């Protein structure tokens, strides 16, 4: 009997791995919801599970917004909270449990502080502590936070874009959420801690290692972390033109597959920055875009392993965030958020460390660090945002097998009713603005509109219909979040009394 049970279990596990492989090769992103935020833009997103409630924290300039996320991917607003001095944006954000209390730690970029908030039972935040930058630490222009749990205490590692005094700092996290400085290591010519935008930790044979990206000095560094929160440098890998792409090293993450530990590093090449003086070393050569994979040896050192190079089939230009979606021990799925391609590219990492592209969605907005994966039951979600000040939204996506829609197009239908108090001139102006979208948004394939002429009395008072055709999901997203479309909503929604919006797929 036990033999039969074990055989059945083995068969189930085998089938699950096969299904994972099949799904992983054809995964796609499907937008579920989007909500407005109080912050001026969205530059950081994190999530947390508290008492069975799935929480999403969205950081922008001036505020942090709190949402709940349900199993359908719907975002429901809970609260908004001001940052210190109404500054920000909230760049680095991480939620964790310290000594039985749930906290959200926030790197306030231009407030030059790290703020600690206690997460209440309903998800809202209560300020608990704050630590300001000093000459000994490297908290100014804070970007990245990483909580590291050791045997007797937990520590918060902090990095950022401090231009004159860059480096890496560690703080002990006390049970009340306050931070006690442990160690700071100033950047040197050898280290890659000038502009830390990504951090990731790995345990190897009971030892803890931390990996940092150096945006300004174009490389990745590894550090051994000790139980007392202190750390030392292990090795450093610089950009070159052969087996890595690290100019403007940006996001850092990783996965353990089989007996192998991998670090995955993206970059937003300095060529994408137009501001004079922002890049410290302007003498660089653009040698393409790619995601670099490093294999770790037993001492935690980085060893160049593989590069997924960008081409006409991928969206890897200007990577600002890489999120692990799933890992079954044999292969892992990552989402790569890009600012310059304005897309989310899904990739698969095999057990032998080969990173390959799956599918991508052109989001219609630039991803600027604000991207977070979250799992509810068996479903994987992504929450994204943009640095665009005209955007002001958090967007949720579900990751699921791609639906075959070959030879089909999307019909996007908008029915509108204008307010009785709106003048004919205002209505005509609003209608013309809608019609003009076809000349402003290239992703629109076809456009038609008209006024209601039905005599059946089932129009619910709706008077105008607009029918827009898109060739695929990418085109629809580009339209939805295009600055011209958002501008129309912001200017003319005041005249709308009601609206019905429906989409359907049909043959070309």
Residue from 246, 240, 177 nearest 217 by CA: 246
The model's pTM: 0.93
Region(s) of the chain under CATH 3.30.70.100: 408-507
How many Cα atoms occupy the beta-carbon half-sphere of 43 within 13 Å? 23
Is the pLDDT reported for residue 221 higher than 80? Answer: yes
pLDDT digits (tens, 9 = 90+) for 349-387: 999 999 999 999 999 999 989 999 999 999 999 999 999
Residues in Cβ contact with 423 at an 8 Å cutoff, skipping those fewer than 6 apart = none
Q: Is the Cβ–Cβ distance between 342 and 363 less than 8 Å?
A: yes
Q: Is the Cβ–Cβ distance between 268 and 320 less than 8 Å?
A: yes
Q: For domain 408-507, is the CATH number 3.40.50.2300?
A: no
pLDDT digits (tens, 9 = 90+) for 408-427: 999 999 999 999 999 999 99
Whether the bond between 88 and the residue before it is cis, its omega within 30 degrees of 0, is no
pLDDT digits (tens, 9 = 90+) for 446-499: 999 999 999 999 999 999 999 999 999 999 999 999 999 999 999 999 999 999
Predicted local confidence at residue 475, as pLDDT: 98
Is the pLDDT reported for residue 42 higher than 90? Answer: no
Helix axes 483-492, 424-435, angle to 10 degrees: 170
Average pLDDT, the chain: 93
Predicted local confidence at residue 16, as pLDDT: 38
Q: Is the Cβ–Cβ distance between 48 and 97 less than 8 Å?
A: no
Region(s) of the chain under CATH 2.130.10.10: 10-276+285-401
**Strand pairing report for 393-401 and 179-186:** unpaired
Give the pLDDT mean for 200-219.
97
Predicted local confidence at residue 5, as pLDDT: 38
Q: Is the Cβ–Cβ distance between 422 and 72 less than 8 Å?
A: no
CATH architecture, range 10-276+285-401: 7 Propeller (2.130)
247 to each of 158, 220, 266, 288, 347, how far by Cα in Å? Answer: 21, 10, 9, 10, 21
pLDDT digits (tens, 9 = 90+) for 81-134: 999 999 889 999 999 999 999 999 999 999 999 999 999 999 999 999 999 999
């Amino acid at each position: 009997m036990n033999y039969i049970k074990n055989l059945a279990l083995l068969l189930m596990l085998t089938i699950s791995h096969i299904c994972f492989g099949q799904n992983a090769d054809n995964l796609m992103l499907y937008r579920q919801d989007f909500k407005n935020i109080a912050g001026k833009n969205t530059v950081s997103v994190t999530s947390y599970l508290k008492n069975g409630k799935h929480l999403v924290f969205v950081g922008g300039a001036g505020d942090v917004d709190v949402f709940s996320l349900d199993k359908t991917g719907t975002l429901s607003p809970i609260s908004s909270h001001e940052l210190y001095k109404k500054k920000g944006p909230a760049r680095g954000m991480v939620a964790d449990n310290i000594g039985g209390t749930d906290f959200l730690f926030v790197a306030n970029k231009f407030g030059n502080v790290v703020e600690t908030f206690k997460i209440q039972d309903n998800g809202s935040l209560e300020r608990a502590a704050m630590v300001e930058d000093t000459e000994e630490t490297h908290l100014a222009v804070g970007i990245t936070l990483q909580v590291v749990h050791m045997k007797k205490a937990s520590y918060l590692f902090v990095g950022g874009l401090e231009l004159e005094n860059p480096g890496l700092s560690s703080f002990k996290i006390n049970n009340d959420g306050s931070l006690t400085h442990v160690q700071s290591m100033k950047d040197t010519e050898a280290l890659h801690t000038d502009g830390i935008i990504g951090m990731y930790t790995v345990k190897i044979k009971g030892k803890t290692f931390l990996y940092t990206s150096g945006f300004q000095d174009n490389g990745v560094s590894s550090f051994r972390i000790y139980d007392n929160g202190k750390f030392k440098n292990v090795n450093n890998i610089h950009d070159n033109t052969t087996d890595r792409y690290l100019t403007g090293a940006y996001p850092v993450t990783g996965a353990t597959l089989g007996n192998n530990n991998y670090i995955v590093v993206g970059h937003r090449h300095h060529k994408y920055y137009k501001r004079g003086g922002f890049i410290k070393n302007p003498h660089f050569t653009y040698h393409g875009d790619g995601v670099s994979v490093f294999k770790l040896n037993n001492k935690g050192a980085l060893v160049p392993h593989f590069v997924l190079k960008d081409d006409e089939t991928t969206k890897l230009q200007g990577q600002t965030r890489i999120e692990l979606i799933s890992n079954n021990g044999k292969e892992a799925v990552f989402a790569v958020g890009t600012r310059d391609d304005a897309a989310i590219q899904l990739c698969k990492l095999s057990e032998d460390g080969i990173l390959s592209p799956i599918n991508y969605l052109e989001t219609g907005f630039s991803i600027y660090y604000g991207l977070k994966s979250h799992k509810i039951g068996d479903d994987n979600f992504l929450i994204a945002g943009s640095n665009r000040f005209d955007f002001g939204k958090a967007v949720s996506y579900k990751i699921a097998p791609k639906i075959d829609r070959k030879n089909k197009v999307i019909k996007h239908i908008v029915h509108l009713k204008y307010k009785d108090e709106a003048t004919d001139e205002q209505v005509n102006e609003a209608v013309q603005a809608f019609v003009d979208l076809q000349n402003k948004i290239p992703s629109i394939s076809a456009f038609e509109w008209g006024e209601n002429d039905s005599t059946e009395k089932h129009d619910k008072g709706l008077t105008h219909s607009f029918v827009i055709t898109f060739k695929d999901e990418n085109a629809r997203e580009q339209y939805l979040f295009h600055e011209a479309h958002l501008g129309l909503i912001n200017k003319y929604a005041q005249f709308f009394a009601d609206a019905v919006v429906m989409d359907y797929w049909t043959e070309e």
